[in-house]
Structure formats: structure tokens, C-alpha cells
Amino acid sequence: MAIHCYENISKNVKKLFKLDTIDTSYVIGVVDEEMFLGHIYYGALLNDYHVAHTLRILENPFIPSQYNRDRVSFLDSFPMEYPAHGLGDYREDCISIVAENGSTGLSMQYVSHKIWKGKPELLHLPAAFGREDECTSLEILCEDACTGLQAALLYTVFEETGVMTRSVRIMNKGKGDIYLTKAFSACLDMDNKDFEALSLHGSWARERHIQRVPVSHGKFSVESVRGESSHQDHPFMALCTRGTNQEQGEVYAMHFVYSGNFKVSVQNSQFDQIRMVMGIHPDDFKWKLEPGEEFQAPEVVMVYSSRGLGKMTRTFHDFYRKHLIRSSYRDKKRPVLINNWEATYFDFNTEKLLAIAKQASLLGIEMLVMDDGWFGNRYDDNRALGDWIVNEEKLPGGLKYLVEEVNKLGMKFGIWMEPEMISPDSDLYREHPDWAIAIPGREGSLCRNQYVLDFSRRDVLDHTYESIAKILRSANIEYVKWDMNRQLTDIGSACLPPDRIGELYHRYVLGVYELQERMLEEFPYLLLENCSGGGARFDPGMLYYSPQIWCSDDTDAIERLKIQEGTALIYPLSTMGAHVSDCPNHAVGRTTPFETRGHVALSGTFGYELDVTKIPAKDRRMIPKQVEMYHKYNNLVREGDYYRIASYSENHYYDCYGVVSKDKKEALYTFVQVLNVPNYRSRRIYFKGLDPERKYKVEGEKGVYTGDVLMKAGYLVENLEGDFKSRLIHIVGN
């Protein structure tokens, strides 16, 4: 059993829980007669459980049950496992309420626990999964005796991957209504180890750039209040000991399995103690719990690495591939697709789409995806969202005819949708203006000339589902790109009562999850790719429903180096929607070699975003070779271990990363020379991840090298002529 409970450790430590994976331990203690739940240890695997002395409880002279003169001093320094609000712990808390009498104070004390093999599902929420032989769960029940509020803290350890997940279920066992105003999912209290906080930030077209800042006194937060996980911040944070790099240093990481508002913060206290917390953002959150009702908070994935960021990365990759992504496409190649958006925008018809498809099919491309503009009165982005009826002026004969003609070419067919939105200029809005999220009596704030549908309403959800399902039933559609092009504002609902408006943000996210779950249940063969104005909802919650997410609307190969580096820090390469697009690039105006565009897109799902009938002939001739390249390397890219070798965002000249097969018999390294340097010879690259004893041959070269030599002495990459040039280095071992 990977989780053990030890009783009566000392006079003050009543119980101790030790949660072990293959290389980590996590230890919790129940302290004092009042049964406070305290965090003791998280880190490398311990071979003993006698660590309760590190709680420092005897250093505090004011242990509440023994000498209650200064309870606040105890509460403000004790390493809480799930800190509550308002009674003396002045650090960032995890749970707060407004009780029926208006009070806000809470104290969550241990009541009971249970341990079992396997992992439960979370009600209406995406969450990691595992068999009984893969994981073990601990539930610790805590209660505030004064209000009757209970919190069931759920921990699951996945023994072989080294990962722990955490979530919280909150129940009102009292006699009156309780308003939950904060419900975070996880807390980590520990001593400061001269940490730096690593996070991912950005904006539209430059998502998930890596940032590292020293952890100083005070708070550092990463958060979104936009109704989605957002372009600007990402629901992830890692604490790294100073000097941590890819191979060495300690890393404590949290990642939120959620697609809405979030907050993750780290605080260094007056005693140089660190507290990191993560959960649903408390701004505009207020959940009413009537007696007997409960609230399920989303899940946090926690990873500890004692061997730097590279080990953290590969742990997340393995875990998500095995325990979060459910799609049948998880373990197989995705079809090479061509999307018509940058090729035509709204200006297309059946004839134009079939011309693109015919040319694409001759080049080996396997799927045509029809993007925005196929429905209602949709001739630009100012109208028709919500009117999911085929525009037969553009598509004579309808969707069925188009799809059948594409299928005759030997290609699959996919379609773009934006089911969460409604245009003011639409038949749906004219009939149901109250279906939009809005504050009654206030003119709504438009973004991209559209509003957001109120997914807290059952009638809206059901209508939306039937609208998109009717389209999917009408033809042989095998792929859906689900988009969301604006954030939430004007939080109000025509149906929710005033005391439940604070539930709208979360109910909206639950509605999105429900729609995607229903769609996949009816159309289980569907390849779903989530998208939100590019990468604004690239999060673990979405991965539960779609095995890939559009990484960014910026398809420029050079900009993608930073975007894909930050994304690959925590996500498998197989999840990153990446395409070869036309030049000059539509986002930045840069022109890069067609070969380089292909090499960079190879590190994702791979596809095309251009008009194949209009690109230069030399580029068109390269497509069959790129498709062949994709089929040659995709199993390795999708399943292998990822290693970051050099970062263009750090050195400003070149980028390099690699994927190594699990058996270490094969590796593929991608080298991108961003800027050439005059009077420069070659660059020495130190490969990673190889078997030191195995002999390797570089494809296309005569020499044979041991893995030890390639990793320690290095490999020379010749200076490439010009900027934005790239090279693939394929290595095969004996």
C-alpha cells in the first residue's frame, strides 16, 4: 500500500499519514487535542516515517489545548494542510464562508479518514483516472464544529509516475445556509529554500512564455478572472531552488485541472515560511450551500522533482498521456489536416474548398477542415453566431454533398464551431436575447461583436447541444475544432436568483464540460481539438475532453519556438496543435523557409494552414516530403521522452530540443538557427536522454558514437547559411 497511517507518534502528534510514490513522499500530521491538520514533508522518497519533529510544534509555547494564551501565534505559524479564514492565520487561506449569522471564521479540524486502492471520479469535473493497481487514495474528513461545514480532502498517489493529485469536496452539514466565498483545492506549506517562482505568461499570439522571479516576502500570484484559463496567465506554478536547470535542482509544481477563473499564489511569511495555494479564483465567486448540499472543487496535479525541470516535464508528460487524456487518438497518429482559415477567411464556397481538397489530397494531406463562415448569414465576424444552419449560398447542396465529395478524394472532413457564443445580429439573439450573459438593465460589453451564452441555464445548454449535434449527424464529420473567441464580462443571468449570481462563472465552465462530454458520448470517434482565440484555454481540464488543443493563432515558426517551449514544459507534444502556414506570416509578417516551418510544426500535431493551390511551386513540392517526415517520426514524437537542450528565448540565437524513445534506441533532435552569426564555425550541442553505453549512428552520416560521447563531448552542428534555418538530427542505436 502506497499510503500508510501511523497512530500516536508523540504526545502532540496523534496521527501521521505517509503517501509514497516511486520517488516521492508526502507526509501529513494530526496535531494536538484539537486535531489540527499540518503539513510535515514533501520531497524525495523517505525510507522512514519519523519526521514529525520537523513540525517545530514544541518551539511554540502556545499549543492551544495546553496553553491557550496566544492561539493566534500558533495559527499564524503552523504549517496548515488546508488553512481556513478568519481565526488567526493571516497568510493566504484556502476556504472562506459567510455563515447565516454573517460570520466568516472557520477552523477545519480532523474528524476521520479512509484509504483505498484506485481513485474516484469527481462529480461533473475533469480529473485524472487510474486503475486500482496504479493508484491509491486517501480522504481526510475535516469539520468546523461551529458551522457544521465539512471538507473532505482527497489525495491520490500514482505510484509509478511519481504524481499526486488533490481536490476538496465541501459539505454543509449544518442547519442554515452557508455561502462559500473561497474553495481552493490545494495548499503547500514549507520552509523557504531560496525559491524562484516559475510561471507561464503571455497574450494573444504569444502564449505561455516562461518567466522566473525570486520569491520574496509578500505574495506573488498568477491568476485569471476572464472566465477561462486565458492567454495572459496559465494555471500553473513551480517553485524552484535557485540555480535549478534542466538536470538539477528541486522543483515543486502545481497544475490546475480547470478551464475557468483560477488563482495560484506563493507567499513568503515573516518566519521565512512558504505557502503555495491553488484553486478557483475567489473574485465574484459565491456558492450557496443549503443544508445537505455539497461543492466539489477541481483537481490539482502536484509534481516534485529532485532532478531539475527536465524530470518535472517528463513526469507531467507521462502522467497526462496515461491518466488524463481519454481519446482513442491518444495513442495513434492524428490525420494530417489542412485548414482553410488563413487560405480563405470568410470568402469561400464549395468549389473553392474542393479545389483546395483536390490539390491537398494529391500531396498526401489526409483531412480538410472547414473553418468559420459556413453557417447562417456569416459573411464576416459581426453576425450569425448561434445560427448553426448551413449557408447553402456558399455550400450548394449542403454539408452532406461537400463532405461526400471530400471523402471521395480519400480525405476525412472536419469542421469549426463556436458553440458558446451568440451574435447580437443573429436569429437566435432576436428570438432569445435573455440567453446571453448580461446584467439586467445594463448595456452589454461586446467583444469581437459577440456575447456569451448563459450556460448556467438548462434550456440554453440543451438547445446548444442539439444545434451542434444536428450538424454532426448530418454528414460524415470526423473532427471538430471547438473555438471560444472572447472572455466573459457583465456577469449576470436572467434565471439565476440574486443570491446565486456568484455561481455563474463556475456553472458556465461546468456547462462547457457537459456539452463536450455529451458530444463525445454520442460521437465517440470524433477527434476534438479545443481552441480559444488560439491558446487561451490550453489547460488540463480541456485535455480530458480533447487530446489536442490549438496552441496559438500565431503560426510563425520563430514565434512558435517560445510558445511551444513553454507549452512543452508541462504538456506532451502530441497535445500541441501546430501547423505550417503561409508567408509572410499573417500574425507577424515574417518570412521563414518552408522547411523550417515544417520542422517546427513536427513537434506538435502537424498540419497546414494555407491555400495549397496558391503557394509557390517549390513549397508545394515539399509537402509530400513533409507528410512522409510526419509519418516517419510521429510515433517517436508522440510517445517519446522530451528533452530541452537550448532555449532561443534565453540565448537569442538558436533553439534545440529532442525526443528520445522509451527504450533509448532512437532519438530525434530539432535544431533551429534563428539568427546567423558572422565568422562563426559550428555549434556544439550536448544531446540528452541517450543510453551512455549504446552505440548510435546519425542518419545520413558515416560515424558511430556512443551515447556517452554524444552527451558529454557533444555533437557539432554546422553553421547554416542564413537566418531561420533548421535541421533534424535523427539518431538510431544498436
Q: How many CA atoms lie within 13 A of 9 on its CB side?
A: 24
Alpha helices in 349-503 (DSSP H): 350-362, 398-408, 427-431, 458-473
The CA-atom distances, in angstroms, between 226 and each of 231, 490, 618, 727 are 10, 11, 44, 40
Say whether 553 is catalytic.
yes
483, 539, 582, 619: the catalytic one is 483
What is the Cα gyration radius of the chain? 27
Is residue 594 classed as helix, strand or coil in its secondary structure? helix
CA dihedral over 372, 405, 575, 342, signed as positive or negative: negative
Q: How many CA atoms lie within 13 A of 107 on its CB side?
A: 15
- Beta bridge pairs of residue 533: none
Give the Cα separation of 619 and 593 in Å (integer): 9
Nearest to 255 by CA among 303, 221, 209: 303
Give the Cα separation of 687 and 660 in Å (integer): 10
Query: For 342-345, which contacts have Cβ atoms below 8 Å and span 24 or more sequence positions?
Result: 342/555, 342/581, 342/582, 342/586, 342/609, 342/610, 342/611, 343/582, 343/609, 343/610, 343/611, 343/612, 343/614, 344/373, 344/611, 345/372, 345/373
Nearest to 197 by CA among 252, 245, 146: 252
Phi, psi of 719 (to 5 degrees): -65, 125
387, 553, 556, 611: the catalytic one is 553
Element (H, E) at 150: strand 149-158
Burial bucket for residue 521 (CB in 10 Å: 0-12, 13-18, 19+): exposed
Per-position b or e across 102-129, b if 16+ CB within 10 A of its CB: eeeebbbbbeebebeeebeebeebbbbb
The DSSP code sequence of 67-104 is: -GGGHHHHHTTS-BSS-BSSSS--S--SEEEE-TTS--
Say whether 483 is catalytic.
yes
Give the Cα separation of 309 and 643 in Å (integer): 10
CA 608 remoteness from chain centre: 24
Burial bucket for residue 261 (CB in 10 Å: 0-12, 13-18, 19+): buried
Cis status, amide bond into 584, omega within 30 of 0: yes
Instruction: Report the 3 state secondary structure along 660-687.
Output: ECCCCCEEEEEEEECCCCCCCCEEEECC
Q: Crossing angle of helices 398-408/350-362, nearest 10°?
A: 20
- Beta bridge pairs of residue 27: 18, 41
Nearest to 95 by CA among 83, 103, 104: 83
Burial bucket for residue 681 (CB in 10 Å: 0-12, 13-18, 19+): exposed
Active-site amino acid positions: 483, 553
